[in-house]
Chain A
Amino acid sequence: MIAGAAAGRWGPSVGIGRDEFNVEPTGRPFGHFDAVRKVFARSGHEPLVAIENISFDLHSGKLVSLLGPSGCGKTTFLRIAAGLIAATSGIVQINGIDVSEPQPDFGVVFQQPNLMPWRSVLKNVLFPVEIRREGGEEAVARAIELLSLVGLSGFERVYPAELSGGMQQRVALCRALVHQPKLLLMDEPFGALDELTRMEMQDLLLNIRAKTKATVMLVTHSISEAIYLSDTVAVFSKRPATLVDCIEVGLPYPRKPETRYTPAFTAFEHRAGCALGITR
């Protein structure tokens, strides 16, 4: 376990359990999850334990992936962190606030683009600022800049139905970033895309993160995606989800597609595979 060995520029940002905290210079981690548990009541059935006692810290500016088998509760965990649903017990603290409802400085990207067909691309991106009544020249300029950052310049006035799935998800990414969130939460954002688009989007995300410096928490069930993107990969077990491993990916940024074919990359993939129980 690398957690705790806080040496180096790409040092660990996540530790398993309370005693393995990797405290930031400011004294408090950006996000702090302690003994988070989630139980769903089901009528006529036993209550469903989705998450069992998950604790880790999320450090400012880091990209953390939640990796686990389908249906293991990692999306549930992300939704708890986003304040969309409440944990049954445990501490969920982000940016010094006990999260029990969605926070204004969060941005969420869902599995589906969830664009509004009646709004143009630009108006879709501006939706969050409109809801906050913060619209204005500045927001529009920011939206246009974000769209050009994801390669969608010239598509501002187009309706979403005319875009491909990958383009739609890029619009959704811009929408999640337009109000300059401190934390970007992504729920299998590239899951619905084909392999090539997916790899393109991964590079795009790394690019955007380098520019915006946002802290990112991302749910995925792809091992290579998790390793390629993350500072830290939190590996979840099957339901009820527990934290089985925290992999500090020491590969330096900026990562290039070639990074995927290095022995170090493969070694991290192997370790994740072991944690998931699919390799030995």
Chain B
Amino acid sequence: MSGARMQRSIFPLLGVVVLLCLWQGYTALSGISQIVLPSPYDIGLVSIEQFHLLLQATWPTLVETVLGFALALLIGVPLAVSVANSRLLNLGLYPILVATQSIPKVAIAPIILVWFGLGIESKLALAFLVAFFPVVVDTATGLKATPPGLLELAHSLRASPLQIFMKVQMPAALPFVFAGAKVAITLAVIGAVIGEFVGSVAGLGNLVLSANAQLEGPLAWAALLWLSVLGILLFSAIALAERLLMPWQGTGRH
């Protein structure tokens, strides 16, 4: 068993190390320009040298992402509840939801920028727009997938609609809400960066653009690296919240 566990932790690491070695080797042997493809070593070096700058750029992106995601939850979950519980709302709202979702967010970004300006608001709006859909869809799916046996039990006890919702439907939907939230948080990072690309004065996306424009390849790549680390950390935070809020998940699989 412990051998299998060792394998599980060693092999992903090994994959990364091999990739980095190949990358480093290629940049060293081919003599490719730093602007086009910096070596992992250069990226790491810049990450340390420009730590302060990167940290400064991370903060706005983090705020945009988290607020956009929070807004997506705040609006998405109640919307999912109404869609799941009312046939009319479902019929009336779902097509609009799907339609808004099929608009490419990159295409709508310039318009959002005109509406909300260069500040944090436009990025927040974009992060919200991309994060919102998976939250609604997964939550609504979860609410509709309440085990019929539990509903019948509640019915046999004459539970009120509010009790059924709070004590049966919502807890039963919680794993779905978290599944949606995990997708949403990673999408929110993308939304924030799209906003920063279209027009901004700060943030990691902004840094990628400006570093690229100034031919500072390693810095642009370092900003990218920080972006992916940000995404991973935010995802892990949601996963942690999931474990804390649903301690029953994972029990029984001895």
A114 and B152 contact, CB distance less than 8 A: yes
B167 and A114 contact, CB distance less than 8 A: no
Please indicate the chain A residues that have their CB under 8 angstroms from the CB of B158 in the complex: 101-102, 104, 131
Which among A128, A159, A160 is the interface contact of B157 at CB below 8 angstroms? Answer: A128
Query: Residue B240 at the A interface, CB < 8 A?
Result: no
Tell me the bound Cα distance from A160 to B248 in angstroms.
Answer: 9
Query: Residue A161 at the B interface, CB < 8 A?
Result: yes
Q: Please give the distance in Å from A191's CB to the nearest CB on chain B.
A: 14
Please indicate the chain B residues that have their CB under 8 angstroms from the CB of A119 in the complex: 248
Query: Residue B159 at the A interface, CB < 8 A?
Result: yes
Tell me the bound Cα distance from A132 to B163 in angstroms.
Answer: 10
Of the A-B pairs whose beta carbons lie under 8 Å apart in the complex, a sample of 14, sorted by A's number, is A84-B152, A84-B156, A102-B158, A106-B156, A108-B156, A110-B149, A110-B152, A114-B147, A116-B168, A116-B172, A118-B174, A127-B157, A161-B248, A162-B251
B156 and A102 contact, CB distance less than 8 A: yes
Main secondary structure on chain B at its contact with chain A? helix
Query: Residue A200 at the B interface, CB < 8 A?
Result: no
B157 and A161 contact, CB distance less than 8 A: no
Q: Which of B154, B156, B158, B167 counts the most A-chain CB atoms under 10 A from its CB? A: B156
Q: Please give the distance in Å from A262's CB to the nearest CB on chain B.
A: 37
Please indicate the chain A residues that have their CB under 8 angstroms from the CB of B154 in the complex: 131
Interface residues of B (CB under 8 A from A): 147, 149-150, 152-159, 163, 167-168, 171-172, 174, 246-248, 251-253
Main secondary structure on chain A at its contact with chain B? loop
B153 and A110 contact, CB distance less than 8 A: yes
Tell me the bound Cα distance from A128 to B171 in angstroms.
Answer: 17
Contacts A110-B149, A114-B152; A102 near B157 (Cβ below 8 A): yes
Q: Please give the distance in Å from B4's CB to the nearest CB on chain A.
A: 23
Q: A108-B153, A114-B153, A131-B157 are in contact. List 11 more A-B contacts (CB 8 A).
A: A102-B157, A114-B150, A114-B152, A116-B171, A127-B157, A128-B157, A130-B167, A131-B163, A131-B167, A160-B252, A162-B252
Which among A108, A110, A127, A161 is the interface contact of B252 at CB below 8 angstroms? Answer: A161
Tell me the bound Cα distance from A114 to B150 in angstroms.
Answer: 6
A82 and B157 contact, CB distance less than 8 A: no
Contacts A118-B171, A131-B159, A132-B157; A112 near B251 (Cβ below 8 A): no
Please indicate the chain B residues that have their CB under 8 angstroms from the CB of A82 in the complex: 156
Please indicate the chain B residues that have their CB under 8 angstroms from the CB of A127 in the complex: 153, 157, 167
Tell me the bound Cα distance from A132 to B157 in angstroms.
Answer: 8
Which among A84, A114, A118, A162 is the interface contact of B149 at CB below 8 angstroms? Answer: A114
